[in-house]
Structures are given as C-alpha cells and as structure tokens.
Structure 1
Amino acid sequence: MNPENAYAELRQFQIETAYYHSLGALAGWDQRTYIPRKGHEHRARQFAALAQLLHRRRTDPRIGEWLDAVSGADFLSDPAAPAAVNVREWRRVYERSRRVPEELAVALAQAQSEGESAWEQFRRADDWEGFWPYLKRLVDLTREYAEAVGYESEAYDALLEDYEPGERAARLQEVFALLGRETRSLLEAVLASPQQPPAGVLERDYPVEVQARVVRELVGRIGYDLEAGRIDPTTHPFELSVGPGDVRITTRYYPDYLGAALFGAIHEAGHAMYEQGLPAEHWGTPMGEAAGMGVHESQSRLWENAVGRSLGFWRHFYPLLQENFSSLAGVGLEEFHRAANAVRPSLIRVEADELTYNLHIQIRFELELALFRRELDVADLPGAWNEKYRDYLGVEPPDYKSGVMQDVHWAAGLFGYFPTYTLGNVYAAELYGAARAELGDFEEAFARGEFAPLLEWLRGRIHAHGRRYQPRRLIELATGRPPGAGTLVAYLRERFGNLYGL
C-alpha cells in the first residue's frame, strides 16, 4: 500500500471513530441534564459497551500498519502540516491505548458513569459514606491506568498527559508555589483595604426564568453561535461539543444569586466559542481538536474574567440587567462592577472570585498528587480537604457537599484535569496581554459591544491551529514569549490594585 492510500484509509477510519465519540458525547450531555432518575444504571452499561468498542478501534492493528506505511512519506516532511500533525497525534494515542487492557478501559468507563450518577445522588444527601466507595474504585482503576500507560517520573504525569500533553507535575508544583505565595500576599492586602465593594448586590431576588433569558442574550452577543448550540440547566456547569454545528453549554441558576448563572454561562461560552472556532474541515482528526485542556480553559477564563468582569463589558451590558431585574434598581454601574469583582475567600470553586480561584485549584492539585503518590487514602480526603481550606483560604466547609463533594470531576474520574484551570489562567493572562498590545485597550470597544475583534484574534492565533502544537508552544507562538505565572501575577496585581486602591 502506498503512503497516500494508507493515510486516506487511516484518516477515514479515525473519522468514523470520531462519530462514535460524538454519540457518546451526546449520551453524556443527556446524562447530566435530562435523563430520568432510573435511567442511570442502563446508561452506565451503554458507556461500558461504547468504551469497549472505542478501545478496540483505538488499538486496531490496522492503525499500526497504516502508520508504518506512511512513515517517512514526503507529505509528512513539514511537521506543522495537517497530515503530519494528524499522524503524530494518532501515533501517540495508538501507542498509549495499546498499553491499556480492554477490561480496564471498560471497567473505567463504567465506574466513571456510575460514579457521576452516585455523586448526584449522594451529594444531594450530603452522604460521604455512601459516595466514597465509588470514588475509591475510580482512584484504584485510575492508578491501574497510570501504570498501564506508563510514565517517566511519577504516576500523576501519566494522567496529565491525557489533558495537557507535555505537562508534568514537577513544573506545576513550581507554578503553584509562586502563584500561591503571591496570591495569598495580594489577598491579605485586598482584605485589609478600606475600599471594600458593597455586599449583597448579587445576592438578591433574581427570578430564574429571567436569568435564563438574560444569559442567553448575553452569551449570544459576545460571540456564542446559538444556532449551533443551546443552553440548559444542570447541577454542575459544562460545555460539550457533539460536532460541527452542535456545541452545547449549561449553567446553574439560583433564585437569590445572579453570579453563578451569569459568570458560569460566560465561562462555558468561552469553551464553546473555542470549539465553534476549530476548523470544521478537519473535524474527526487532531487538526480539528483543541490543543489541550489548559488552552481550552484559557478561552473560558479569559472571557469570564478578563472580559466578563471588566468595566467596559458592564458599561455595555448593565442596562440589559437593569431592564430585567427590578432588584438592581438604585444600584449604579460602578457599584455593580465592584460587586462583580468582590474578593471574599469562599468554599465553592465555581463561585470563587478571580483572585482566590487558583488557591481552590492548588488545593485540589495537591490532594490529587498525594492520592497518586499514595500519601493519602480516599477515606481521609474530607479531613485533608478541610485542613487545606483552613490554611489557604481561612474557611472550613460545614458539610461535604460544599467541601470534598462539591465538584463532579473526581466522580467522573477526571484526575489530572484540575491543574488545567490554573494553566488556563496563566495562558489567558498571556493571551489577553498580547491581544491588548496588538489591538489596543479593549475597554472602549467592549463598551460599544465590540467583541468580535478579540474573538477573531483568538481564532487566528489559537483556534485555527487545532493540535498543531503542544499547548505551551502554541501560547508562545501566539504571544511571542513562553508562558509563565509571572504574567498572571502582574495581571492580578494590576486589576485588584486598581479596584482596591493598593
């Protein structure tokens, strides 16, 4: 078989596999939104069957034969060309997948589905004792998975590779050491400032049906294509791409708190705009996929915070809120903007302010690292969690659902995902700074409702490249310098220094 034919057959096979993934994504969306309560058991078996099918396709010996046939082909000579990128990534996935026994892949998929369903049930009841056996099984299976795929230094690196290719625990520890130290220092100064924002502005009467209408209009106006997506309520907000023309987001609503739905929706819309900006002609291949979850989070965190909490953004959108919420009568623009940027150490990660957010992630990263270094047992997680919240944020959860059981990630087996949120913040600071240097200050543009220039800049620098480059290299090429936590620290100092008169 000549290399060109081998590549064509390999590409077609992988696109067919992507359709199965797409159907699995749709089933996952349904499980986290509208599935009947009694449907979870059957859904777990569906996911197990799908996992078996996908594992067999990922490890199909023909992939190895096709990869051997294209090796050294002239059309792969440029490593940044789409075919070369696809072959490189297909080879990486094939080699990793072959190391995982089929029975382990199936067991993990079923445990992840069962764990997520159990989390929904037991979190609602604040029942750690009922939930933790599911979590222990997930940890045990994930440890097996890490050993199966292999690693150079430590098991956690094997997990990171699935979410942020090329990232390592040792480098993340350096990032968190600097960021954690600088964040706590800045937090101390912010809390001591006499210029504290008003309390309670976001905690008023906000009818859920009105929130849903406002959120839909807002995310549509910043660039989320609603004709190629939808917004639904859920327990834990997420974005999910079914395929070209179908990229969905969710958020959660509280009748007495506006921030969760508002900033949660902007965050998920940032993810969705990335997916909607990936080259559709490359769908089903690595060139049509996001570079990594850190890059993905850079898009959501940039839109949620750098854009969505800016004064220019609210100069444009605050009239929309005042028209729809009588509870904001008498609240001025500046007052609302300061309330939207209020810094208050809190318990819930997804509702944390921009400054303290990375401390929430540092806690989870350190706990995950301890779990996979076998320095911490699953049964001891609640105590370790509460201790770190006392030490890092000065707060302590009164129950499990606002503590160790608040996130869906561990219940879904997503160990190694949490650090990508902070990597996303690091990358977002670099990207926003570079875009601002090139396009000019955004405040007046946002006030006029002009978000397209920033979105188009991101599409050209980030979205269009798919998996052409590893995450850190992609950010370096987009901004002109390697990403580092120092840029994020400078951004936080500038933003909160201005807000709090530091």
Structure 2
Amino acid sequence: MPPRESYDWLRAHAVETATIGSALALLHWDQSTKMPPAGHAHRTAQVGILTKLLHERRTDPRVGEALDKARAELLREDPESEFTANVREWQRAYDRAVRIPTELAVATARAAAEGETAWKRARPDSDWQAFLPHLEEIVRLRREEAEAVGYANEPYDALLDEYEPGETAASLEPVLAGLRRELVPLLERILGAPRQPDRTLLTRHYPLGCQRALCREAVAAIGFDFEAGRIDPTAHPFSTRIGPGDVRITTRYNEHAFGEGFFGAIHEAGHALYSQGIPGAHFGTPCGVSVSLGVHESQSRLWENMVARSRGFWRHFLPRAEERFDCLRGVELDAFVLAVNDVRPSLIRVEADEVTYNLHVLLRFGLELALLRGRLEPRDLPGAWDESMRALLGLTPPDLADGVMQDVHWSAGLLGYFPTYTLGNLYAAQLFEAAGRELGGGPQGLDERFAAGDFAPLLGWLREKVHVHGSRFVPRELMRRATGAELGHEAFMRYLTAKYEALYGL
C-alpha cells in the first residue's frame, strides 16, 4: 500500500476507533449523572468490553504496518502539516498501546470503574477500609503499566506522559519549587492584610433554581454553545466531549455556597469551549483532539479565575445576579468582588482560591511520586496526607471525606494527573498576559471588555492560538507559539501579585 493510501487507512481506522471511544465517554458521563445505583455492575462490564475492543483496535498490527509506510512520506511533508502531526501522534500512541497487554488495559479499566463506584459509596462515611482494597488494586495496576510502557528516569514519568506529553517529574519539580517559594510569602501578606472580605456574602441563601439559571446565562455569555452541549448536576464536576456537536459539562450546587456551583460551571465551561473550538472535521485524528490536560486546564482556569473572578465580569453580572437573588440586593460591587476572591487556607482543592490552590496540587504531586517510587503504600496515605496538609496549608482534616478521600482521581486510576492542574494555571497566566497585549490595553483592556459583556475577542484569540491546532504541536511548543514565552511561574506570579495587592490593599 503506498504511503498516502496507508495514511488514508489510518485516518479511517482512527475515526472509527474514536467513534467507539465516544460511546465509552457517553457511558462514563451517564455513570456520573443519571445512572441508577443498581446499574453499576452492568456498567463495569460494558466499560470492560469496550475498553478491550478499543485496545485491540489501537494495537492492531495493521496500524503498525500502515505507520511504517506512511512515515516514508514524512520527508516530503511540511513538518507542521496535518499529515506530519497525525502520523507523529499516531506513532506515539501506538508505541505506548502495544506495550500494554490487553489483559492489563481491561483490568485497569474495570478497576477504575469499580473504584469510582466504591469511592462514591465510601466517601460520605469516610470509610477508608471499604475503599482501600480498590485503591490498592488501582495503584498496583498503574505501577504495572508504568513498567510495561517504560521510562528513562522513573515510573512516574510513564504515567505523566499520558496526560502531558513530554513532561517528566524532573522537568516539573524545579518549576513547582520556584512557584512554592513565591506563593508562600504572598499568602502570608494577604492573610495579614487589614482589608479582608465579608465571607458571609457567598454563604447566604441562594435558591438552586436561580443558581442553575444564572449559571446557564453566564456560560452562554462566555461562548458555550447549548446547541452543541448541555449542563447537568453531579457529585464531582467535569466536562466531557462525546463527539462533534456534543460537549457536556456538569457542576454541583449548594444553597449556601454560591461559588461552588457558579465557578464550577464556569471552570467546566472553559474546558468545553476548548472542546467546542476544535474543528469537527478533524474528529478522530490527533489534530482533532486537545494536546494535553495541562493546556486543557489552562482554558478552564483562565475563564474561571482570570475572567469570572475579575471586577469587569461582575460589573456586568452582579446586576443580573441581584435580579435572581434577594440576598444580593444592595451589595456593593467591590465587596462582592473581594468576596469571590477570598484567600484563606482550606481543606478542599476544588474550593480553594487561586493563591492556595497550587499548594493542594503540590501535596498530591508529592504523594503520587512517593507511591510510584515505592516509598509510600496506599494504606499509609491518610497519615501522609494529613502530615502534608499541615506542612503546606497549616490544616488538619477532621475526617477522611475532606482529606485523602476528597478527590475522585485516584479512584478512577488517574495517577500522574494532578500536576496538569498547576501547569494549567501557569499556562493560563501566560495566555492571558499575551491576549491582553495582542488585543490591546493589557489586563485593563480585557477587564473593560468583560464589563461590557464582550467576551468574544478573548474567545476568538484563544480559538486562533490554541483550540484550532488540536495536537498539531506538542504542549510546550504550542504555548511558545501562542505566548512567546517558555513555561515558567513568572507570569502567574505577576498576575497574582498585581491582582491581590489591589484587592487587599497591600
């Protein structure tokens, strides 16, 4: 088969595989939103069968043969072309997949499905002993996967590379260490500031129906297309792309915690805007999927924090919120903006503010490294968690539900995932800084646009610089092209320092 015919076969095979994968994504969405409790056992069987089918397709020897032939065309292709990017990423995915035995892939998928169900049942009662066997199995399988995939330096790199291509523990540790060195002094300054928010503003009575309506209005305003998506309640917020024209987001609401539902919805809408901005014509190919979780997270954190917690955003949306919530009548803009940017150490990562959030990620990154390096066993996680929480945030969880059991990730097998959250924050700051510069007026210019309810210029810039490329470029190269800067913590600290010095009168 000639190189071009081989490429066409690869593309058709990949599109069909992605279509099957989209059915699996729909099953996962249903499991987290609508499925009755008694359906979990059957869902685990469904996930196992589809995972086996997908793994067999991804490791089909014909894929390897077609790649060998298609690569012969690369020397004649533009290194930045769709052809080159797709062949490069197909080869990368194939090389990883063929190293993982089908039995291991299926066992991991089943363990994750069972683990997530066990976590949901055990977390409300902090029942660690009921959840521990599932976690032990997941960690064992992920360690086995790391060895099967292989690594140059340490097992953690084999798992991290799945979510953030090209990154390693060694490449991240100095960036995170530099961030920690500057975060802690800024946090201390903020906590000692004379100006502090009225924390009761966000814990008043916010009827759930009105919250849902405001969330829907806000995510539509920033660009989420409801003709190609939907929003639903769930226990742990997430976003998922089922396929072209079907991108779904979720959030969880609390009558006495306005930020939980609202900022959860904006965060997931940020992910969804990226997914909706990837050209549907490329579905099933690397140019039709996001490049990494860190880049994906940059979109959600940018919209949640840099847009939706800005003064300009609330100049536009506070009057609309006042129309829906009696408890906000007469609340001053500056008081509300300070409240939604409240900084204080807290137990829960998803509820953490911008300044302390990355300390939560550093905690999890350290524990994951210890697990994969064999220095920590799952049974010892509760004690290690509490010790790290005290060291980083000065807090001790009152129970396991708000401690080591608070995140769904480990129950779902997502070891190596957490650093992508901090990468997202760092990339978001670099993108926001570059967008302000190129759209004109810097951060103040963006804020004025938000105050006028005009979010389209920023979304359009992100579509051009990030979304449309899919995985055409590796993450660091994509960000370098978009921002003109290398990965670092400097832009993030410039953003935090300027914002919180103004808010807190430092």
TM-score by length of 1: 0.99
**Which of 495, 498, 501 is matched with 2:502 structurally?**
498
Relative to structure 1, the CA distance from residue 160 to residue 74 in structure 2 (aligned partners, 3 Å threshold; closer, same or farther) is closer
Measured in 1, the distance between the counterparts of 2:482 and 2:384 equals 39
Measured in 2, the distance between the counterparts of 1:188 and 1:211 equals 33
Contact 1:164–1:294 under 8 Å retained in 2? yes
Q: CA offsets per residue over residues 200-255 of structure 1, 9 Å max, x none?
A: 11011011111111101110011111111000000000000001110000000011
Q: CA offsets per residue over residues 282-327 of structure 1, 9 Å max, x none?
A: 0110000101000000000000001011000000011111000011
| 3-state secondary structure, aligned to 2:249 | strand
What is the number of residues matched between the two proteins? Answer: 502
Matched, 1:125 2:125: yes
Deviation at 1:3, TM superposition (A): 1.1
Matched, 1:203 2:203: yes
Q: Which runs of 4+ in 1 moved over 3 A?
A: none
Question: Corresponding residue for 2:138?
Answer: 138
Deviation at 1:125, TM superposition (A): 2.1
Relative to structure 1, the CA distance from residue 395 to residue 74 in structure 2 (aligned partners, 3 Å threshold; closer, same or farther) is closer
Q: CA offsets per residue over residues 117-166 of structure 1, 9 Å max, x none?
A: 10110012221111111011000000000000000000000001110000
| 3-state secondary structure, aligned to 1:411 | helix
Bigger mean CA offset, 20-29 vs 203-212 = 203-212
Matched, 1:404 2:404: yes
Contact 1:75–1:84 under 8 Å retained in 2? no
- Letter of the 1:12 counterpart: A
Contact 1:461–1:478 under 8 Å retained in 2? yes
Bigger mean CA offset, 68-77 vs 473-482 = 68-77
What's the % identity of the aligned pairs?
56
| 3-state secondary structure, aligned to 1:397 | coil
Deviation at 1:484, TM superposition (A): 0.8
Measured in 2, the distance between the counterparts of 1:257 and 1:403 equals 19
Deviation at 1:8, TM superposition (A): 0.8
Measured in 2, the distance between the counterparts of 1:270 and 1:378 equals 33
**Aligned 1:81-480 pairs, distance under 5 A:** 81-440=81-440, 441-480=445-484
- Letter of the 2:359 counterpart: L
- Letter of the 1:427 counterpart: Y
Contact 2:77–2:83 under 8 Å retained in 1? no
Measured in 2, the distance between the counterparts of 1:319 and 1:328 equals 9
Measured in 2, the distance between the counterparts of 1:129 and 1:333 equals 47
| 3-state secondary structure, aligned to 2:281 | helix
Measured in 1, the distance between the counterparts of 2:384 and 2:494 equals 31
Q: CA offsets per residue over residues 38-94 of structure 1, 9 Å max, x none?
A: 111111111111111011001001001111111221685212111111111111111
Contact 1:76–1:84 under 8 Å retained in 2? no
**Which of 467, 483, 488 is matched with 1:484 structurally?**
488
Measured in 1, the distance between the counterparts of 2:488 and 2:175 equals 8
Deviation at 1:176, TM superposition (A): 1.5
- Letter of the 2:279 counterpart: P
Contact 1:208–1:253 under 8 Å retained in 2? yes
Q: CA offsets per residue over residues 371-426 of structure 1, 9 Å max, x none?
A: 00011110110111111111111111101111111110000000111100000000
**Aligned 1:42-61 pairs, distance under 5 A:** 42-61=42-61
| 3-state secondary structure, aligned to 2:72 | coil
Contact 1:202–1:339 under 8 Å retained in 2? yes
- Letter of the 1:447 counterpart: A
Contact 2:74–2:84 under 8 Å retained in 1? no
Question: Corresponding residue for 2:10?
Answer: 10
Deviation at 1:483, TM superposition (A): 2.0
Contact 1:76–1:83 under 8 Å retained in 2? no
Supply the RMSD in Å over aligned alpha carbons. Answer: 0.9
Contact 1:75–1:83 under 8 Å retained in 2? no
TM-score by length of 2: 0.98
Deviation at 1:481, TM superposition (A): 1.7
Deviation at 1:329, TM superposition (A): 1.9
